Structure formats: structure tokens, C-alpha cells
Amino acid sequence: MAKDKKLVESITSRDVDFAQWYTDVVKKAELTGYTSVKGCMVFKPAGYALWENIQTELDRRFKETGVQNVYLPMLIPESLLDMEKDHVEGFAPEVAWVTMGGLTPLQERMCIRPTSETLFCDLYAKDIQSYRDLPKVYNQWCSVLRWEKTTRPFLRSREFLWQEGHTAHATAEEAEERTLQMLGVYADFVEEFLAIPVVRGRKTDKEKFAGAEATYTIEALMHDGQALQSGTSHNFGDGFARAFGIQYTDKDNTLKYVHQTSWGMTTRLIGAIIMVHGDDDGLVLPPKVSPTQCVVIPIRQNAEGVLDAAEQIAGALKAAGVRACVDGSDRSPGWKFADQEMRGFPLRIEIGPKDLEAGNCVLVRRDTREKLTVPIAEAAGETAKLLEVIQADMFDRAKKFLDGHTYEESDYESFRRTVEEKPGFVKAYWCGQRSCEDRIKEDTRATSRCIPLGDEGNRVPEGATCICCGKPAAKLVYWGRAY
């Protein structure tokens, strides 16, 4: 049992060192591993399985809105990248370049895609001729490369996995509608599937995507009070279309430029799952995204009938649509319990000789450690119902945390004190001037996370003033330190 105890104790407490806790969990749960390629990570089976579940569910939701998947090259010629000045300037420090083809210098160097706007524009310039060709609603699942100076598993690595949607529309209204539609898809997915509450909003001009007219975001709050941008949706207007000559002949026989959008989510969502739901014993996975939802653990599995009963329970769980397995290894039950908890699987079922004799088994929740004794014949049905309860409870706890760590301030000194002493979101009014936004970041290391959508962001009370300069306010902003 000493080894069993050590397995749990090897994870640093969140309240002692949150960054080290995060690293310990990623390592102990075998989600990723370091590689010989500096700044890049390997996705181990447990980590990649999470991404597969995220990808499968997101892809399903995308296709319900008419999205089609495509795949474009990973190399972008420099001349193509240079066609959109603002876009290039935004990514220039992070671009990796290919200059040789085998032993021969390339006539034109190529960048490894940091994002694919320019390639999609090149495609659309060739494929769009008439209003009949619109809209184009495409998405690709791929990896991108950005030469980050500081990396952390899932949250920031040089190569990461993501999806990037790129659409083209006949009108500005259609583009804005798609931009907000995809933001809604993202927000619903993160809240319903990952059990993470988010704030939906618009980025300030300073924080918006390079080359975009408007960037919309969903912002989540991690357990340490720092924000994590969890998905963005951009309205490009016709800026890219003008740079790349993407025009179509409208019904009135006039040439017009298309209006474009782009939207993306990445593997940093796995980091969000860890930091929102995890505890000092490791991962706590929401049932919908967990690769394994229930582990059946036989107690004294060499006793007559115990292992068979465990296999029968697992079979019934699978037949009921539960992702289940049996831990029939030769480890002690204590080690298996600790391992299941560290890996974050939502439920375990314990079955031993006494349980078998009574015709019962024990369900143990990972999130609360609560135990429930049920008849073996009812285990599958009770498990399915309990998984739904766990999913809802995890969201409710995270929402309570978000609400409890969202503050409002109206004077600058209190604002600075709250940012420093109470990590979380701070709501405060802003005049709209870049100088105030810059000063707030310099003084507090807090950035504007978003201008919330709806009445909260649009309705400024009479007499409201900027938290920084005291001039009349233009918008309410969520501020916070962020990953």
C-alpha cells in the first residue's frame, strides 16, 4: 500500500504550486510526453483520445450547420503570405521557414502554416466566379506551427492540432451571421460537452486577430483565476477578398467582393479541462469527453466468480452505450483506485466476493467520491443515469466558481487591488481608448478579455466612467490575467 499512497502524493497540490500541479497531472496521467523536437510534444494515447472525442463532437456540430471538410497544403509561398500586410505582420515573429528542397535552395522560401487564411483565399479566388458559387463553408482539421518562445503542454506548443474554418459569403450580413453562429457552436460545445462555463464577447481592436474587422471569443476561467481564450470567430469583411481579388458576378451582373470569416479551436481545450475540473489527485474528466467513462474493478479477483462478474457488468455497460473497461491487472485494489482517480475516469464500479454474494456492486463517483450500492442487474442503467448527473454537477460547480470569481470595480485603485489579490475576471467600464487599455496592462498585467455580448456589453449606464482615465465610458469590459 505504500506504493499506492505514493502514486497520489506525487502530484503537487494546486494551492501550493498550480503550474507544477498542472505539469504533474499531465505527466502522471500520461497525456503527453516531451520529444527531441524542442517546444513540441507527443500526444500519448490518453491525451489523443481526448482530442479524438473533441474532434468527433465538434465535427458533428459543424456539419449540422452546413460545414464541409477540406485539406490544404502545409506550406505557403512567401509571395502568397505577403499579399495581406496586416495578417503577415501579426504572425511574422512566429513563422518557421523552409528554404531548402532536399539539397537545393528553393527559389522562393515557404512558411510552414501558422494559419491558412492565405491558402483559402488562393483557393476561393480560383473557385468563386458567380453568386451561385456562394457561400463556401469549409473547415480543415490539421496542425499548425508557430515558433513560440515559451511552451507548456496543450496550452502553448510550437506545433499544435486544431480546426480552422474559413467561409466566403455574398454579403456582409451573411458573414456576420456565420461569425456569430460559429461562436455559438463553440460556446454550446464547451459548456455542454466539456462542462466549462464561458463568457461570450467581442475582442477590442487591440486584441483582435490580425487582418480581421471583428474577433469574437469565448473566455473560460481556470482554477487559478487566470483566463483562457478557448475559441475565436473572426469576421474578415472584404479585406482579404480585396487583397486576393476574390470577386463574384452578382445577380445584377456586377462584380462584387466576397465577405469572409474564420474560426478555430485547438488542443488547448484539453488544458482547460485539466485546469477547470482537476484536483489534487489528478484529472477529473466530464463524462461526455472522457475516453473511458467507467472502470470496473474486481476486488479479490482470484475469488470464484468475481472476475466473471466484472466482465459481465462491463459487457452490460457497453451494451447500454457506456464506454467501460475492466481493470483485471495484478495490481492491488488500492493501486487501481488511485490510478482510476488520477486518470480522471468519471466512475468506477467495485465488485468483490461479498458484493457478489449479496448481488450488489458499488458505484464510486470520481468528482465527489460518493458511493452508491446498487443491484448488479441495475448497474448499467444506474451508471448511465449517474453519468448524466455528474456531467451536470461538474458544470454547475464550474459555473459557481466563475460567478464567485467575477468582480466589479468602479475606481482604479480598487481595480488594481482586485486584479492583484483576487484572481478572476474583473468587470469595469472603459472609454474605448487604446492608451487606457495599454496602461491597464502595464500597471496590472491584466488584459481586456472581451466586451460581453448582449445587453451587458451594449448598455452603458448614464454617468459611467472609464476605470482608468475617468472619461465617459463606451463599453463594459471583462479584464483579467490570462494564459
Q: Is the pLDDT of residue 4 over 90?
A: no
Q: What domains can be seen in the chain, in order of their start residue?
A: 29-277 (3.30.930.10), 294-385 (3.40.50.800), 406-480 (3.30.110.30)
In this structure, what is the dihedral angle of CA atoms 366, 371, 377, 379, given to the nearest 10 degrees? -20
Alpha-carbon gap, residue 387 to 381, rounded angstroms: 10
Name the β-bridge partners of 430: 475
Cβ contact 250:273 at 8 Å = no
- Per-residue model confidence (pLDDT) at position 6: 44
Q: Is the pLDDT of residue 1 over 50?
A: no
When pLDDT is cut at 50, 70 and 90, the band that residue 415 belongs to is very high
- Per-residue model confidence (pLDDT) at position 93: 82
Higher-confidence position of 90 and 250: 250
Mean pLDDT confidence for 312-326: 97
Instruction: State the chain's mean pLDDT as an integer.
Output: 95
Cβ contact 210:216 at 8 Å = no
Phi, psi for residue 221 in degrees, rounded to 5: -110, 125
Cβ contact 76:119 at 8 Å = yes
- Per-residue model confidence (pLDDT) at position 5: 46
From the number of C-beta atoms within 10 Å of its C-beta (0-12, 13-18, 19+), residue 117 rates as: buried
- Per-residue model confidence (pLDDT) at position 88: 67
Grid cell at residue 464: 459611467
Name the β-bridge partners of 169: 259
Alpha-carbon gap, residue 37 to 48, rounded angstroms: 18
Grid cell 466566379 — which residue?
129
pTM for the model: 0.94
Mean pLDDT confidence for 185-205: 98
**Model confidence pLDDT, tens digit, residues 44-87:** 999 999 999 999 999 999 999 999 999 999 999 999 988 877 66
Q: Is the pLDDT of residue 3 over 50?
A: no
Which long-range contacts link 379-386 to residues 24+ away (Cβ below 8 Å)? 379/313, 379/316, 379/317, 379/349, 380/313, 380/316, 380/317, 380/319, 380/320, 380/322, 381/320, 383/293, 383/294, 383/317, 383/320, 383/322, 383/324, 383/347, 383/349, 384/320, 384/321, 384/322, 386/347
Q: Is the pLDDT of residue 43 over 80?
A: yes
Instruction: Please state, for a pLDDT cut of 70, what percent of the chain lies above it.
Output: 97
When pLDDT is cut at 50, 70 and 90, the band that residue 9 belongs to is low
Q: Is the pLDDT of residue 166 over 50?
A: yes
Q: Is the pLDDT of residue 114 over 80?
A: yes
When pLDDT is cut at 50, 70 and 90, the band that residue 150 belongs to is confident
When pLDDT is cut at 50, 70 and 90, the band that residue 296 belongs to is very high
